Structures are given as C-alpha cells and as structure tokens.
Amino acid sequence: MNVPFFDLSRAAARIAPELDERWRGLLERTAFVGGPEVAEFERAFADYLGTTACAGVANGTDALVLALRALDLAPGDEVIVPAFTFVATASAVVMAGGRPVFADVEAATLNLDAEEVERRRTERTVGVIGVHLYGRPFDVEGVGEVCRRYGLWLVEDAAQAHGASSHGRRVGRFGDLATWSFYPSKNLGAFGDGGAVTGEDRDRVEKVRLLANHGRAEHYHHVVVGTNSRLDGLQAAVLNCRLPRLERDNERRREIACHYHRGLSDLPGIRLLEDPDGALSVYHQMTIRVPGRRHELREFLASRGIGTGVHYPEALHRQPALLPEDGEPPVLPVAEAAGGEVLCLPVFPELEDREVDAVIAEIRAFPGSTGA
C-alpha cells in the first residue's frame, strides 16, 4: 500500500464547503489584505491560547524577526537558540541584527537543554528562543527559570506546536512572545503562507503589528521603519475554518502516535523520543531515531511506497550560512548525532489506521529491524 508522508488534499476536502462560502464573501467584499477574516482569526486564536493579543503576519519567519525587533534586539546582541531546529529560528536572529548562539538539545527529547542555555550565556546574551520541536513542548520551566535568573526574555517558537500544552497550560503562554507559522503542513495550516505573534503584553504585540505594516501609525504617517508582512484574508479564512477542528485533529495525531508507539517500541534498532514531563504533545511530526541505518530504512520504505521525511539532516551550527566569523562551529554532540538519525513517519489527522498499520508492518519487515 502507498502511504503518503503528507496529503493536504484530504484536509482541503474536509473544509471545502465552508471555505467556499468564506472565500465567496471575500470576493464580494474584496477584503484581501487584513479585513474581517483576519480580525476574526486574531481574536479566535488569542482566545484559543488563553492569551491577550495576536497579530497576524505573512509567515513564521517574519513572526520571529518581528518579535525580536519588538523586543528591541540591538546589533550584536546574543540570542541563545537550539542547534537542532528549522533554520528560521536562527536566521531570524541574524536578520534582526543579532547573533545566534547555539545550545545543544536534550538526548531524550531533542528539545533545548536548560543547562546548556546557562552554559552558553554571556554578558551579551539578551534572550532565548525555545522551539517546541515536532509539537512537543520544550522544558519551559527549566529554560524559563534560567531566563528569570539572568533577566533574559524568552520567545517561544511555536511554529510546530499549535495546541500543545505543558502542565495543563497551552504553549505560547510561557514566554514574553510566541511566534507561529501557518505553513500548509503545520497542525494549524493555511493554504499558503501565514504566521502570527501572540502574547500577554498587548503593547508589544501591537508593536509587531506596527512593524509589520510599514511602521504606519496613520495613513502615510510612519513612526518607525517597518516592513510589509501581513496575514491575507484568504489565508485567514482557511484558518477560521480549521481552528475549530484543531483540538480533534490533534487528538487524532496523538492516537496515531500511540499506534506507532505500540507497533514499534519493541524494535531494538529504533529509538522513540520521550515526551517531556507534564507535556501534551500534538505530534506535528512522528519522529523516530534509527542509529546507523536511517538512510537504509528510508530507502527501504520508499521502495515499498511509504513516504518519510528527515527533519533535519544537519544541525544548524554546522550550516555554512550560520558558521561563526572564525569558521569554527562549537561541538554540540546531541544535535550532531540527531541529524544523522531522525526519521519522520506519516502523521496527519486524515491518515487512516490501515495506513499506519502498513507503515508499521513495513518497518518491521526491514531486514534486521526485529533483531531476529
């Protein structure tokens, strides 16, 4: 059986009638940039998170850059970021004028290690970006405690974790600001690019909105130098259709993850990631580790029609674009090993049980996987 890594057409089919109606309304009102769909979504998403304010922006990368600017990042300021995440977490720091300082991740969770944050801190450190990687909350207590001790701000990069929670509280409510991506494959995805910045501090979120709209206080009156990074109405309409379904969709992702755990946990060559204490994951990715044989397993599954992904093949501190000026990257062994071992299996709400069974059966059929 062929099992796709991801199939957006199934999600699109589920919301087509409602989306049709919303899009038709937009065509009549020509409210394409900003407008009522955007306002409705910003309110609904802030309410869903239990936070105060939300500013829609053009994508999750801009959300990070604008959040850093709203936190007054100055040239040369250091920001600690995990070495194992999507490139935007670190490149946003560079684009906002700062310097990313890479910290290693925890071996059990592949999320930012609070002790490493403390170790990498210098007099120039102003803040930390934590990433809820694969939909699993990072150690918000440990990292938050280091931030409080040294007076650092904390940004949550929640691009992969819409609806996840830690100790009963949704991610996005632990940092000074949280940033979101609505790229189509995300748990809450648009049908194009989209993003948002959320937070308790309304003034700071309003500063993001100002920066995202040419620094315009009034029509043709610009109080700061800003950019054009706005959420468009058509994408907000998709998000308005999908947000009420997010809880159920995340529940289905958890069911699928449980199914994988049951089917794979006895295999000696495969390691499953641990969920942090008190965490409720939303499984943006279902990631396994395959030490020494990731590439082989991936090729084997591809030959059987099973789609997989590798998020991410190389840790960020070793990326040419992000090497320090002296060219010598730090040694961060956990992130470096993870790049060679992680394999992401199909997980999306519309995936059927028989498809998950097929993926499990093929992994078990991989020569040597059962240790026999």
Give the residue from 342, 364, 308 showing the smallest Cα distance to 4: 308
Q: Smallest distance from the beta carbon of 157 to ligand PLP, in angstroms?
A: 5
Q: Smallest distance from the beta carbon of 161 to ligand PLP, in angstroms?
A: 9
Among 91, 109, 160, 285, binds ligand PLP (CB under 6 A): 160
DSSP class of 3: B
How do beta strands 165-166 and 279-280 pair? antiparallel
The label of the residue with tokens 């991610």 reads 171
Q: Which is nearer to ligand PLP, 176 or 193 (CB)?
A: 193
User: Please, where are the H alpha helices in 226-284?
Assistant: 233-242, 246-264
Window 84 to 143, contacts with ligand PLP (CB under 6 A): 85-86, 88-89, 131
Among 60, 135, 142, 233, binds ligand PLP (CB under 6 A): 60
Tokens describing residue 301: 């599954």
Q: Which is nearer to ligand PLP, 89 or 369 (CB)?
A: 89
The interface region with ligand PLP, picked from 156-164, 216-224, 244-252, 262-270 by CB under 6 A, is 156-164
Q: Which is nearer to ligand PLP, 92 or 343 (CB)?
A: 92
Type of residue numbered 15: I
Give the residue from 158, 157, 201 showing the smallest Cα distance to 176: 201
Q: Smallest distance from the beta carbon of 179 to ligand PLP, in angstroms?
A: 7
165 binds ligand PLP (CB under 6 A): no
Torsion 348-350-351-353 (CA) sign: positive
Q: Smallest distance from the beta carbon of 100 to ligand PLP, in angstroms?
A: 13
Q: Which is nearer to ligand PLP, 57 or 343 (CB)?
A: 57
Q: Which is nearer to ligand PLP, 188 or 280 (CB)?
A: 188
Residue 219's φ and ψ, nearest 5 degrees, are -55, 125
Question: Which residues neighbour 240 within 8 Å (Cβ) at sequence distance 6 or greater?
Answer: 22, 37, 40, 41, 44
Q: Smallest distance from the beta carbon of 281 to ligand PLP, in angstroms?
A: 15
| Residue 24 Cα to chain centre, angstroms | 31
The interface region with ligand PLP, picked from 20-28, 59-67, 105-113, 275-283 by CB under 6 A, is 59-67
Contact in structure between 281 and 135 (CB atoms under 8 Å)? yes
d(CA 167, CA 58): 31
Question: Which residues neighbour 151 within 8 Å (Cβ) at sequence distance 6 or greater?
Answer: none
Among 41, 42, 56, 59, binds ligand PLP (CB under 6 A): 59
Among 37, 139, 157, 232, binds ligand PLP (CB under 6 A): 157
Contact in structure between 190 and 182 (CB atoms under 8 Å)? yes
| Residue 216 Cα to chain centre, angstroms | 29
Q: Smallest distance from the beta carbon of 132 to ligand PLP, in angstroms?
A: 8
The interface region with ligand PLP, picked from 82-90, 94-102, 113-121, 343-351 by CB under 6 A, is 82-90
Q: Which is nearer to ligand PLP, 189 or 233 (CB)?
A: 189
How many CB atoms neighbour CB 128 within 10 A?
Answer: 28
The label of the residue with tokens 């991936």 reads 298
Judged by CB under 6 A, the number of residues near ligand PLP is 15
Q: Which is nearer to ligand PLP, 26 or 90 (CB)?
A: 90
Q: Smallest distance from the beta carbon of 146 to ligand PLP, in angstroms?
A: 20
Window 170 to 199, contacts with ligand PLP (CB under 6 A): 181, 183, 193, 195
Q: Which is nearer to ligand PLP, 60 or 172 (CB)?
A: 60
**Exposed/middle/buried for 64, CB within 10 Å: 0-12, 13-18, 19+?**
buried
Interface with ligand PLP (CB under 6 A): 59-61, 85-86, 88-89, 131, 157, 159-160, 181, 183, 193, 195
